[in-house]
Each structure stands twice: as C-alpha cells, then as structure tokens.
Structure 1
Amino acid sequence: MTSRRWALWLWTLGAGACITLGAGTGVAAADTETSGGDGPSSQSDDRDASEASSHGAPDQGTGETPDPNAGDGVDADDLSDPATVPASVELADDVVRDADDEAAQEADAAEEVDADTEAETAADTAAEAEPAAESGSGSGSASTVVDEAPVQPAAADAEPVRATAPEAANVAPAPVTGVKTGRAKLTIPVGPHDYRTRADWYLPTQADGSVAATGVIWLQHGFLGNKASLSKLAQTLSQQTNSIVVAPNLSSFPLACAGCWINGVPMQEAVAAMFLGDRTSLNASANTAGYLGTLPQDFVMSGQSAGGGFATAVGGYYTEDPGNNGSLRGVMMFDGFSFGGVLTKSLAKLDDPFIPVYQIAAPPQPWNSSGASTKELVAARPGQFVGVTLAGGSHADALIGGNALFDFFAQLVAGFSPPGNTAAVYTLATGWINDMYQGLGPSDGTGIYGDPDQYIVMGDTAAIVLAPPRVVDVDRYLGTWYEVGSVKQFFSIGLVNTKAVYSLNPDASIKVENSGNYFFNNGPESSIVGSALPVDPTNNKLNVRFFGPPSARPPGNYWIVDLDPDYQWAVVTDPTGLSGFLLSRDPVVSADFYQELLDRASVNGVKGWITRTRQPAANQTQL
C-alpha cells in the first residue's frame, strides 16, 4: 500500500470519528439553552410542546400541568458550540433565536425516536442485562450463579402515563412491562438567566400503562458527550430498577456563563438544589415529557466518564445542604472520573450520613485519566466495597447499544468493548441501584458484590473487585516463581521452562536469577543474574538491574500489580504496561486459572499481548 493510500485511509477513519463525535457534540450544543431576556419564545419551544404531546404529554388546555419553561426567553444553542460562535462574538437576540430554531430542528430530526418503538424494544434491552454471574477465587472455590427474573413483553401505549399511588415499603410494585420515552425542556437555576436544556425522560410503564416508579435516576453524559449516547443504558436502568430516568444535555464548555458547564461548581450546586423542596423544575419537565403526577422522592445520581464525577459532586452538595430530606440513595459511576481532587472532597461529604458510591471501571487508560478517580475512590473508602473493574474493559462499555454507527466510532476511539461487558454493566448497575432503594448493601443486598480483589466471572466476561495496591512482604515473596505466561520480549521468544529465583544478597538487596531453555526441554540454557531494590515502602514497585549496582530510584521497572494473599501467584508489569508476567509457585496451572490471571493482568493495566509459557520439564516430571 502506497503512502498516499495509507494517508487516505487514516484520513477517512479520522474524519469518521470526528463526524460521529462532532454530531454528538453538535446535538448537545443544539439542545442547550440559556433562558432570559424579552421577546417571544422560539419555535423550538412550541415544537417541544407538540412533540411531548405526541409522546403522551397532557393537553395544555385541559387543566394539566403546563410547561413553565415555555415562556419568554432567549435560546443560546449555538453559543454553547465553540465551533459555531467564538467566545468574543455577541449576537443580536433575533439572530440567536433564528439560529437556535434551525439548530433545534436539526437536533430534533436527528434524535426523534418513536415512543412506541422504544417501548417495544425495552424487553430486548432488559434481556441483554442478564448474564449469569459466578464469583470465586483462583483456587477453585464454589461459584455463585445469579439468575434474573424473566422480562415481560413491553407495552406500546402512546397515551400519557399516569402515576399511581406508591406501593407499601414491603410490597413489590407490579412488574415493569415497557419504557416510554419523552422529551422536554429542563431549567437549571444557574447563571444570570438560568440554564435551559433538553432532557430525555424514560418512564417505566406497567401493563395498564401507569407508572409506579420506585425513584428517579439522573443519568449524566460525559465530557463532549450527549444524552443520545446513553439511550440504551437509560432504557435498561428504567426497566430493571423501575426508575424514572432523566438524561439531560450539559455543555462541555463554560460558554453560556462561567459556571454553566459539566465541570462547573455552580452547575453542580444548581442541580443539587433541584432535588430540594418541591422540585418544581424537575416535575414540570417530567410532566411535559408525558408523566402525569409528582416524581418520587428517592433518587440516585449517576453518570458516565466526567458525568460520573459530576454525579458524585452533585451528591456531595446535596448532602451538605441543611434543607435536604435525605432522599439521595446512592451514586453510580460508569467509568467515572473527575479532576483536581473533586471526587475525594465529594466523597468526604457523602460519609456522614453514609451514601454508597459505586464504580464500574475500565482498566487504566487515557479516557479515564489512567484510573486516577478509581484509585481515589478506593483510597477514600478503605476496606469497603466500592465497585469493580471489568476485564478487557473499554471506556465505552456502558454506551454500547444505542446506535450502531456511534458504537463503532466510540469503540474506535476509546477501545473495543469485549463481548459480555455491556451486559455485565447492566447486571451490576441495576442490582446495586435496586439495593440502594431498599437501603441494602454488600452484606445483605441481592446485587453482585465481593471482597477486595475478588475475581467474579460474569458469563462471557469477568470483573475484579476494586482494591488498594498490595503491600508486599519481601520475605514471603522470595523463592522460586514459574512464568506461566508473559508478553514475549525479543530475548524470550522460544524460551520454555522459564523461572525466576529471588533471594537476599548480603547488602539486603534482592538477588534475581532468571533462567530457561530455548525451544524444548533440555534445550540451550539461558540465564541471567541481577539485583533489585524496592522504590517505596509498599515494596510493590522495584528496580531490577542486570548490569551495575542496584537502585531504589522511582518509579521502578518491576511492578507487582496483583498478588495472592498467600503468595501463590503474582502479576507483574512496568509503568508503561507494555510488559507483563504471570507468575505462579506451580509450574503448570489450569486453563480456568490461567484465564483468571489474564483477566487480572488486563484489569491492572497490562496492555501487551500475553501468551502462555510452556513448562515441559514439569510435565515430564509429572509423568
């Protein structure tokens, strides 16, 4: 292939990714508004009202709840899109309104989804969220299988959905048979003129078309994301937890006002305030979207990527407000992260009273800031269950299923999601949220939990319970380790019977003796001797040198990222994750245990391709 063809191919892929991500960002920008000013409301206001009616919204002339957001205001859709208007440009009000009408029309055309169609597919959504889960250890302990209840066919009712009286605390509500989707404006009290945006509402319907929801879930997209990317996740959460899910668009940049963006403190405080008092704005938006009644009091904050950090921050501001009524049941993050220590500060606010915060993480990668926020969560709540990392996971695990084109390019950018990971996300999240509503947790809940660093098999995939790094006892680590798998280096290609023997030198450094045979048992022998020193008090990072004196200079090149409590196996890599070694005290391991070690390596950031290392000497000895 010529260089020109390579360039054309790379340009095509890049353009496709930009188009897909840009389309999402464009929709988010077109769906974001700032209210205020004088003059008639825009055409998009009228269109939203008529659209909501077609999805089952009440007739505004029949005494139903009107939309307070449809009043006078100046839309600023294009001003939230940095590609459209520079920050220094000021547009006249009539120009802004005209541009907003066009942008809103394009966004509506792109995102219009028939409520009946979505209701009919809700059962399929729920069915995908049911992988069997087995939890156990590498030593072959008994597994636990969690079965989900069968999903009823979805109802397709285009009439407004009415709220029914809440069930008694000890009586389960009627089963959810479908999910109805509506769209409406949502006013967030931030900035000089408030912040108006569009939100998708997912309503869990029963067989008679009514809604008896347990609670409300706020589901927030990530940086440069949009609500459309969360559609499949939102449907699943709504159906499997009997929750009314609201997914709003928030700007990724402070264009409408200094705090009017997803990482803005004023925006986070304003959303927290929306759950105080009578929740006028939330109820009005839900009513316009087709829900008749008052929203349930219990709620869960959730979000993907930066939306997860946003959700945790909102939860923190809510709990510290003396006016809260204790309705926040928990926070659910989908590979969530935040910058500047925001997560740690928010978690401190959520400690008293204690609010569960759970994370379904992907392995460390650039899109989750190398797992920084996951590490913050583990450090802030030591010894507690705070979530899992999915083996081979992608930052897009929770986003798959809404749109095939988006799915492809999201995975092209963030890494491909292995089979079973998205279903595992659904199973874990819905189980935990259902427990949150009932005040249950790892000790008494029905969701899937585990002890720190526990290995959990879930159908086609697996997860590792989040845990702090191991503190290594050097004396226990000494001895013989057999390499059962590794990322092959140029010098190790063809090596078999590979092992490492560690012992103490007179100067207290660690003696390292690596050896093996080339190609077959009793083949040409290869060996090398070096020394190692820990670079920090945890002893899980060492510098190994085969030439020159030992060094304790960080960051080290031998990282013990996972270790059996009984020191029977270990996973080793380096700061880049490009090397990887699966070590065992036994030269031969079972296929299932080898797969567990592979999954553990993935979860702990090993990026290189690990292959088995044969141990023919051990096989011959066994014979």
Structure 2
Amino acid sequence: METVEPVGSVETEVEAVDTDEQQAARPMLRHIFKRTAASYTAPDPQVAAPASPVPATAAPSLSVPEQIQSFVFDFVGVAVTAISGPPRVPAGSNVTVRSSSLEITEGRNVPADWYYPEGEEPPERIILLQHGFLGVSAMYSYTAANLAERTNSVVVVPTYSSNRFVRDGFWLGDDQVYRATAELFLGDREALTASAQAAGYAARYGADVPLPETFVLVGHSLGAGVVAGAAGYYADAIKSTGAENHLVGVILLDGAPPENVLPDALDKLDGLGTYVPVLELGAPKEVRRVDAALIEHRPDMFNGVVLADGQHLDAMQGGTPLIQFLSYLFYGFSTAPNKAASQTLITGWVDDMFAGRIDASTGACEGDDCSGIYGEPGQTLDLPTPAGPTSAVVIGGSALAPITTAFQPMLATAPVAPRPPSDFALIRLL
C-alpha cells in the first residue's frame, strides 16, 4: 500500500544548505512577517513580566523584530500542530501508536509519540526519529510506523520547540537539545522509560519488560543536527565512563545540521573504537556539506545516496493530507517512486545496522542476508518500487563531488531587520 506523507509543511530550517529552497521560502516568509508585523504590538519590556522566573544566565531581552519573529514561530507551530492532528498509522499496519509526555530535562516535558509493533516477542530495538524545524511528531507518523513495522522496533518521535528566540535557548537547533537527547539513552534511561510506560508500553508488552537497549537515531533536516549532536555527546559519555555502547547507527534524512555538528560527531564516533554507521538519504542540491563531511571522515566508503529528482520531503510521510499538500506546494511534489524508495532505503539500512551486518571497512552490507541497498561511491543504483522505477547516486566519487562555492544565504531576519552575520541562522522552509 502506498503511504500518504504529509509532513514538512510550513517547516523552516535554520541551516546554510540549499540556495534553491531558501529562494522558494522568501515569498511565504515575507508574507508571514509583513502580516504579523502589521498586526502585532510588541509588549513593553518594562511592563510585561515573564510567566516564570528567568535564570541569571537567560538570553538578553529580545529586540522588537526578534519578538515579532518569536511570535510568528510560535503561531506557525500552533497552526501546524492543529492541522497535523494526532498521529496516524497507515491502513492495515500492525503498529499501535500512543502519545505521552517526555521529560527531556529535569522539569521540562515535551510531547512524544510511541509506535509499538505487534508480535509474539517484545522488540529488542528502539529508534528515535527527530523532526525538522517547525515540524511536529505527527507529521512523521507513516515514516515512524513503517520503521516500527519493517524493522520490528519501538519508535519514539519527540516534538521540540522550533522557536530559536525562546528565552532559555532550548530549541531544536540548540546544543542543549543535543545533550539532553543523548542523556535519554544513558544510565537507567528513567525519563525514556517513564514516557514509554505512560504511552502504554507495559500494557502492550508486559510490566516486567524493559525498553530495548540497542538504538538507532534518525533525523530529518535540522533534526539531523539533533541526532548527529546527540550521537557525539553519547559517544563522549561512553568513552569517558567505559559503559557499553548501544548506539548502532545514525541516519540523516536530507540532513541540514548546523555547520560543525556533523564533523564533530563523526570525530567522536570514530574515537569510540567501534564502527557506528552514519548514512545520508539526500535530495539534489548545490551545496552538500553533509556529503562533504561524510566523505572527509569516511572516504571510499558507502555513506548513503542522493535520490534522482529527489525532494527535501521524500522521506517525511504522515497521515494528514492537508499539511502534506501545503508542504509540497512550496517545495515541490515528491514522486511516488521516490516516496516508496525512501522508505525502502531507510528501513533496509536500519535493519542492517541493528543486525550488525554493515562492514566497518566499506560502510556497506554484503551478502544474501542484507536488507538494505548499497553501492560504490559515484555509482548509480536502479531502484524498482511498487510505484515505478527510480534511481539514486551513491554519495562520493566524481558524480557527487561537493561544491564549495561560497554564497550569502538569507538571514532569518532579512524581511524585518538586519542581524549580525555571526548569528547562526539560515532559513529553509519545509
């Protein structure tokens, strides 16, 4: 059955990656900012009091343009959540989805959706799937359900704030989130277990069944920064404590991590003394920093593929047609073969990661037992799917040599007011 994938909608991405997508974003962003600026009256900072005490280390007060942007981000986030509705699984799926809250750090709770596959035995694998900027977990419900069903894994999809102007800085693109995500999988994993139990884990598998220990991290767009950063901090903790490593792989879905996050994470992972695959499923773009980082750290290895005629939202699939249509309206409609191929590629790689079938010297699985699809750097892979044929080019080789031409991306505040260029923020609308 072909899935219907909504996600991506009005998601904007803070990242210097894709000039074409930034250009496509400008008209909508100008429209939003102009309408909001015209109707929004910024609160007087001398009068308005914070709802809760602000720690001494809190960020400086926001300027009026920043307050406007903060309002826009929050407004769009609420709208996306409302339009997305609750998470849904594809018709005929053997996966159950339940929602709860997740204490990501002490005293801070975020929404989380949990996907449980059927079966005689409880799953021994767990996957964290991370959304992109202004996305929410429900927008990835079909992708999460497919991962749960095809790899027999518990899948958790948390929703983080996408407002980069939040006073304490705890948002999707912030280092605090990377650390907190890593800590979910360290120690006794109390917060992760409590969230799963609140979402019916014990009722599904039994009160005495612990969460699986072995895990894979999957992140889309700016969410790729979360999983890459979390992988790096997890590797730090494992190396410093001597604890057993349970991270068996990371997958980036057309990733757009902040500039140094992926290279730093690869350095840390390579220092573990055990190979942890990091693979990218990409769409064509002019500047491919993710590919460049992977090739630099792991040359002449399989580091993933770029789908022919791919779109940024190929792998983001959910059950709300309206938000999916709005997403595709601004960023191009994914082809049915590429939508199907993306699911096949992701689930195959994840299954091989969990099974330990990926060779540390080649980055690929070889043999009859492989679930995933692999190739040599620069090789074109033919990908037959139930929806028709498509193809992909393996990252690396002359076919995908990284382009390093410098360019000046659009600043997040460009439609409102200038901001210092040191500010980390280049917008991609999903």
TM-score (norm 2): 0.68
Matched-pair identity in %: 35
Counterpart in 2 of 1:450? 375
Structure 1 CA distance, aligned partners of 2:87 and 2:232?
A: 34
Out of 245-254 and 355-364, give the one that drifted further: 245-254
Letter in 1 for 2:176: P
Counterpart in 2 of 1:289? 199
Letter in 2 for 1:121: G
Counterpart in 2 of 1:201? 114
Q: Is residue 20–residue 409 contact of structure 1 (8 Å, CA) maintained in 2?
A: yes
Counterpart in 2 of 1:152? none
Instruction: State the shift of 1:338 in Å.
Output: 1.3
Q: Is residue 375–residue 468 contact of structure 1 (8 Å, CA) maintained in 2?
A: no
Q: Does 1:237 align with 2:147?
A: yes
Q: Which residue, 312, 333, 340 being the options, matches 1:416?
A: 333
Structure 2 CA distance, aligned partners of 1:243 and 1:327?
A: 14
Q: Which residue, 435, 438, 461 being the options, matches 2:390?
A: 461
Structure 2 CA distance, aligned partners of 1:328 and 1:257?
A: 32
| Uncovered stretches (5+) of structure 1, i.e. residues with no partner | 1-16, 24-82, 94-99, 123-177, 472-537, 542-553, 556-574, 576-623
Letter in 1 for 2:249: G
| Uncovered stretches (5+) of structure 2, i.e. residues with no partner | 1-5, 13-39, 53-73, 203-208, 359-363, 408-430
Structure 2 CA distance, aligned partners of 1:22 and 1:225?
A: 5
Letter in 2 for 1:458: L
Letter in 1 for 2:395: L
> Structure 1 pair 222/423, CA: closer, same or farther in 2 (3 Å)?
same
Letter in 2 for 1:179: V
Structure 2 CA distance, aligned partners of 1:390 and 1:237?
A: 19
Instruction: State the shift of 1:262 in Å.
Output: 1.4
Secondary structure, in 3 states, of the residue corresponding to 1:112?
A: coil
> Structure 1 pair 204/433, CA: closer, same or farther in 2 (3 Å)?
same
Counterpart in 1 of 2:104? 188
> Structure 1 pair 20/298, CA: closer, same or farther in 2 (3 Å)?
closer
- 1:250-329 to 2 correspondence within 5 Å? 250-292=160-202, 293-321=209-237, 322-323=240-241, 324-329=243-248
Q: Is residue 259–residue 267 contact of structure 1 (8 Å, CA) maintained in 2?
A: no
Letter in 1 for 2:236: E
Counterpart in 1 of 2:264? 345
Instruction: State the shift of 1:296 in Å.
Output: 0.4
Structure 2 CA distance, aligned partners of 1:230 and 1:391?
A: 22
Counterpart in 1 of 2:67? none
Structure 2 CA distance, aligned partners of 1:228 and 1:361?
A: 22
> Structure 1 pair 119/214, CA: closer, same or farther in 2 (3 Å)?
farther
Letter in 1 for 2:230: V
Q: Does 1:21 align with 2:16?
A: no
Q: Is residue 141–residue 317 contact of structure 2 (8 Å, CA) maintained in 1?
A: no
Structure 2 CA distance, aligned partners of 1:241 and 1:269?
A: 27
Secondary structure, in 3 states, of the residue corresponding to 2:218?
A: strand
Counterpart in 1 of 2:17? none
Structure 2 CA distance, aligned partners of 1:109 and 1:419?
A: 23
Structure 1 CA distance, aligned partners of 2:90 and 2:9?
A: 26
Instruction: Report which of the two structures shows the higher radius of gyration computed on alpha carbons.
Output: 1
Letter in 1 for 2:282: A
- 1:391-402 to 2 correspondence within 5 Å? 391-402=308-319
- 1:23-102 to 2 correspondence within 5 Å? 89-92=48-51
Q: Which residue, 250, 265, 268 being the options, matches 1:331?
A: 250
> Structure 1 pair 357/256, CA: closer, same or farther in 2 (3 Å)?
same
Structure 1 CA distance, aligned partners of 2:371 and 2:263?
A: 28
Q: Does 1:376 align with 2:276?
A: no
Query: Using CA pairs below 8 Å that are at least 6 residues apart, which structure has the higher relative contact order?
Result: 2
Instruction: State the shift of 1:20 in Å.
Output: 5.4
Instruction: State the shift of 1:407 in Å.
Output: 1.9
Structure 2 CA distance, aligned partners of 1:267 and 1:426?
A: 27
Secondary structure, in 3 states, of the residue corresponding to 1:121?
A: coil
> Structure 1 pair 376/436, CA: closer, same or farther in 2 (3 Å)?
same
Instruction: State the shift of 1:86 in Å.
Output: 6.9
Secondary structure, in 3 states, of the residue corresponding to 2:315?
A: helix
Q: Is residue 85–residue 320 contact of structure 2 (8 Å, CA) maintained in 1?
A: no
Deviations 1:203-226 (A, max 9, x none): 1112xxx65213110000011211
Q: Is residue 11–residue 133 contact of structure 2 (8 Å, CA) maintained in 1?
A: no
Aligned length: 325
Structure 2 CA distance, aligned partners of 1:264 and 1:350?
A: 20
Q: Is residue 9–residue 135 contact of structure 2 (8 Å, CA) maintained in 1?
A: no
> Structure 1 pair 266/462, CA: closer, same or farther in 2 (3 Å)?
same
Deviations 1:252-272 (A, max 9, x none): 234555341112112111111
Instruction: State the shift of 1:377 in Å.
Output: 1.8
Q: Is residue 379–residue 468 contact of structure 1 (8 Å, CA) maintained in 2?
A: no
Q: Does 1:223 align with 2:142?
A: no
Counterpart in 2 of 1:572? none
Q: Does 1:389 align with 2:310?
A: no
Instruction: State the shift of 1:347 in Å.
Output: 0.9
Deviations 1:304-338 (A, max 9, x none): 11111211110111011134420001001111121
Instruction: State the shift of 1:113 in Å.
Output: 5.2
Counterpart in 2 of 1:214? 124
Counterpart in 2 of 1:570? none
Instruction: State the shift of 1:230 in Å.
Output: 0.7
Instruction: State the shift of 1:414 in Å.
Output: 1.9
Q: Which residue, 280, 288, 304 being the options, matches 1:359?
A: 280
Deviations 1:60-104 (A, max 9, x none): xxxxxxxxxxxxxxxxxxxxxxx99979553546xxxxxx9xx99
Letter in 1 for 2:85: E
- 1:133-152 to 2 correspondence within 5 Å? none
Q: Is residue 365–residue 372 contact of structure 2 (8 Å, CA) maintained in 1?
A: no
Deviations 1:481-511 (A, max 9, x none): xxxxxxxxxxxxxxxxxxxxxxxxxxxxxxx
Structure 2 CA distance, aligned partners of 1:200 and 1:244?
A: 11
Letter in 1 for 2:357: L
Q: Is residue 362–residue 393 contact of structure 1 (8 Å, CA) maintained in 2?
A: yes
Structure 2 CA distance, aligned partners of 1:86 and 1:198?
A: 28
Q: Is residue 399–residue 407 contact of structure 1 (8 Å, CA) maintained in 2?
A: no
Structure 2 CA distance, aligned partners of 1:257 and 1:400?
A: 32
Letter in 2 for 1:21: V
Q: Is residue 87–residue 319 contact of structure 2 (8 Å, CA) maintained in 1?
A: no
RMSD over aligned CA atoms reads 3.4
TM-score (norm 1): 0.48
Secondary structure, in 3 states, of the residue corresponding to 2:172?
A: coil
Structure 2 CA distance, aligned partners of 1:202 and 1:86?
A: 41
> Structure 1 pair 286/382, CA: closer, same or farther in 2 (3 Å)?
same
Q: Is residue 337–residue 390 contact of structure 2 (8 Å, CA) maintained in 1?
A: yes
Secondary structure, in 3 states, of the residue corresponding to 1:318?
A: helix
